[in-house]
């Protein structure tokens, strides 16, 4: 606390508020004492901490002040009047008129007031002329009255118009109405805030005033962790899937065999995605311990010789290539496992699965690529599903995510046909950006699992980071 300011305030309160219930305004007191108002407010708050020395009631009032632009108009006149008075009687080309004082700002206002007229067909291009013989600067006059404190002389509509033109500012002034408290005194007694060993030894603490403890004061908030932005988005996506009736798939297998990651998805063994440049292969253990034998034989046949109405890829499918272990490149490997498990049930029942988990790609690191990222995947299996159902589900999913402007573009995936890329219009970038990939799983993928022929499986995925 500043004792000098506080004592000056108490002395003025003693003089000016002698009558019971009387008080003083902090703004008026600061002006009379020649003090900065904020310094006086600091003294008020310090005196309040002493107990019942004073009573301070917060008050707020608004007043109008001229902005820097308004001060310039008060001195030189409004832009539209300055332009009118600078324009010669014979007029000027519009381009030259805009260079006159107030031209760039006042032209549209002067035209709206019908002070000027524009002849677009004049020789040499559009020409500006005066349309009236003289004008009165009502804007400058209104600002003059407001500057002199004659607020009521300017109608509210005009004040609001000046505010819109950024010539006038509405300022809120906060102040205090200060009265004597029950323990009022003009002497400021400093209260002790700490009990020292010397006070206890000498016994001086008995005669000293101590500042009371505020047991209702809130302590400092403890330092705590926060959710990572990706975890927040992941939680939001998970909630959307659950609202749409989906069940979360187990995705704990970071290490997968090439069989589940590629072969079960009807992705040929010579596909570029299996190249060392795209996939992390394991050295130990280098191969999967076992694969489902009957299903593996069907996958080999459909790859090598075709089947189920397909001619296959016509190559020599190798079991040792299918057994190679890798860090999964997509969570679709988990979807393949779930669909195979579904096919082993005695009776098929429609399902809706989703997963959000980490995948790994042997990418060159840059601003838009990492060696690992999170894939979001949705799968729907039922009878009679069509491309229209897929588009409807995608629209519902992305609408819940806050993305409403969608476009679908045909694409190619080894394990879906038809396939679609999903694009959304980005307001910030002002262009369409890809937000996901989708399609209907091929019969060559589903029928070897043992799923009925009339079952269709819709699938889509996107990157959590994107």
Taking 70 as the threshold, does the pLDDT of residue 322 lie above it? yes
**What's the topology of domain 3-66+170-207?**
Ribosomal Protein S8; Chain: A, domain 1 (3.30.1370)
Residues 157-181 have a mean pLDDT of: 88
Looking at residue 3, its pLDDT comes to 53
56-115: per-residue pLDDT in tens? 889 888 888 899 998 998 999 999 999 899 989 888 888 888 888 888 888 888 898 899
Residues 138-150 have a mean pLDDT of: 89
Lookup: tokens for 73: 């108009």
Taking 90 as the threshold, does the pLDDT of residue 246 lie above it? yes
Between CA 159 and CA 146 the distance in angstroms is 9
Strand 416-426 and strand 406-413: pairing?
Answer: antiparallel
Looking at residue 173, its pLDDT comes to 84
Q: At what angle do helices 138-147 and 79-86 cross, to 10 degrees?
A: 140
Lookup: tokens for 272: 């570029």
Residues 109-134 have a mean pLDDT of: 89
pTM beyond 0.85: the answer is no
Output the average pLDDT for the chain: 87
Looking at residue 187, its pLDDT comes to 75
Question: Is residue 81 exposed (0-12), middle (13-18) or buried (19+ Cβ within 10 Å)?
Answer: buried
Q: Which residues contact 43 (CB under 8 A, 6 or more apart)?
A: 1, 2, 5, 6, 9
Residues 321-349 have a mean pLDDT of: 91
Beta bridge partners of 461: 377, 437
Q: Which of 22-31, 35-44, 156-165, 437-446 has the highest mean pLDDT?
A: 437-446
- Alpha carbon distances (Å) from 69 to 73, 162, 362, 460: 6, 11, 60, 57
Binned at pLDDT 50, 70 and 90, residue 293 comes out as confident
Residues 336-340 have a mean pLDDT of: 93
**Ranges in the chain annotated CATH 1.10.10.2330:** 79-136
CATH 2.60.40.10 fits 233-463, yes or no: no
Lookup: tokens for 340: 């195979």
Among candidates 331, 332, 350, 333, which has minimal Cα distance to 342? 350
Cβ atoms of 149 and 63 closer than 8 Å: no
**Ranges in the chain annotated CATH 3.30.930.10:** 233-463
The full DSSP string for 222-257 is PP-----HHHHHHHHHHHHHHHTT-EEPP---SEEE
Between CA 10 and CA 187 the distance in angstroms is 8
Binned at pLDDT 50, 70 and 90, residue 379 comes out as very high
Angle formed at CA 336 by CA 392 and CA 372, multiple of 5 degrees? 85
Q: Which residues contact 123 (CB under 8 A, 6 or more apart)?
A: none
Taking 60 as the threshold, does the pLDDT of residue 275 lie above it? yes
Binned at pLDDT 50, 70 and 90, residue 124 comes out as confident
Between CA 196 and CA 198 the distance in angstroms is 5
Residues 211-235 have a mean pLDDT of: 85
Among candidates 237, 239, 243, 248, which has minimal Cα distance to 398? 237
Cβ atoms of 175 and 26 closer than 8 Å: yes
Q: Which residues contact 122 (CB under 8 A, 6 or more apart)?
A: 93
Taking 60 as the threshold, does the pLDDT of residue 244 lie above it? yes
Looking at residue 189, its pLDDT comes to 67
Looking at residue 276, its pLDDT comes to 63
**Where do we find the tokens 């004592």?**
7
Looking at residue 1, its pLDDT comes to 44
More confident residue, 183 or 218: 218
219-223, 360-364, 366-370: least confidently modelled range: 366-370
Looking at residue 259, its pLDDT comes to 93
Q: Which of 8-22, 136-150, 206-220 has the highest mean pLDDT?
A: 136-150
Binned at pLDDT 50, 70 and 90, residue 218 comes out as confident
Q: In CATH, what is the architecture of 79-136?
A: Orthogonal Bundle (1.10)
Question: Is residue 420 exposed (0-12), middle (13-18) or buried (19+ Cβ within 10 Å)?
Answer: buried
**Ranges in the chain annotated CATH 3.30.1370.240:** 3-66+170-207
415-461: per-residue pLDDT in tens? 899 999 999 988 888 899 888 899 999 999 999 999 998 999 999 98
């Amino acid at each position: 606390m500043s004792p000098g300011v506080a004592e000056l305030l108490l002395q003025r309160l003693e003089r000016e508020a002698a009558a019971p219930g009387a008080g003083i305004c902090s703004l008026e007191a600061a002006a009379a004492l020649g003090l900065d108002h904020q310094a006086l407010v600091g003294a008020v708050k310090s005196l309040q901490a002493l107990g019942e020395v004073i009573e301070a009631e917060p008050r707020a009032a608004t007043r109008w002040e001229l902005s820097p632009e308004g001060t310039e108009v008060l001195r030189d006149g409004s832009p539209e009047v300055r332009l009118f008075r600078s324009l010669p009687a014979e007029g000027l080309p519009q381009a030259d008129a805009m260079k006159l004082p107030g031209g760039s700002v006042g032209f549209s206002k002067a035209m709206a007031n019908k002070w000027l007229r524009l002849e677009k067909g004049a020789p040499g291009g559009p020409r500006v002329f005066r349309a009236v013989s003289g004008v009165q600067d009502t804007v400058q006059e209104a600002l003059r009255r407001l500057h002199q404190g004659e607020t009521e002389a300017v109608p509210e509509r005009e004040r609001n118009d000046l505010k819109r033109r950024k010539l006038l500012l509405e300022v809120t002034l906060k102040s205090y109405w200060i009265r004597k408290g029950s323990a009022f005194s003009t002497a400021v007694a400093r209260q002790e805030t700490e009990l020292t060993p010397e006070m206890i030894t000498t016994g001086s603490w008995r005669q000293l005033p101590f500042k009371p403890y505020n047991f209702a004061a809130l302590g400092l908030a403890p330092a705590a962790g926060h959710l990572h932005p990706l975890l927040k988005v992941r939680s939001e996506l998970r909630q959307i899937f659950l609202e749409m009736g989906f069940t979360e798939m187990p995705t704990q297998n970071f290490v997968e065999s090439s069989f589940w990651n590629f072969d079960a998805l009807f992705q040929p063994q010579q596909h570029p995605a299996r190249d060392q440049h795209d996939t992390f292969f394991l050295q130990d253990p280098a191969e999967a311990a076992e694969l489902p034998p009957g299903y593996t034989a069907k996958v080999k046949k459909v790859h090598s010789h075709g089947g189920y109405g397909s001619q296959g890829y016509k190559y020599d499918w190798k079991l040792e290539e299918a057994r190679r272990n890798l860090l999964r490149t997509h969570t679709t490997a988990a979807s393949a496992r779930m669909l195979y498990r579904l096919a082993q049930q005695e009776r098929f029942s429609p399902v809706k699965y989703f997963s959000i988990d980490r995948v790994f790609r042997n990418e060159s690191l840059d601003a838009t690529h990492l060696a690992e990222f999170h894939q979001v995947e949705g799968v729907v299996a039922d009878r009679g599903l069509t491309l229209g159902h897929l588009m409807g589900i995608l629209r519902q999913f992305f609408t819940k995510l806050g993305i409403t402007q969608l476009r679908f573009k045909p694409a190619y995936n080894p394990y879906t046909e038809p396939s679609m890329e999903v694009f959304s219009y980005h307001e910030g970038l002002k262009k369409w950006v890809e937000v996901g990939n989708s399609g209907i799983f091929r019969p060559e993928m589903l029928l070897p699992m043992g799923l009925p022929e009339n079952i269709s499986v819709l699938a889509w995925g996107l990157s959590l980071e994107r």
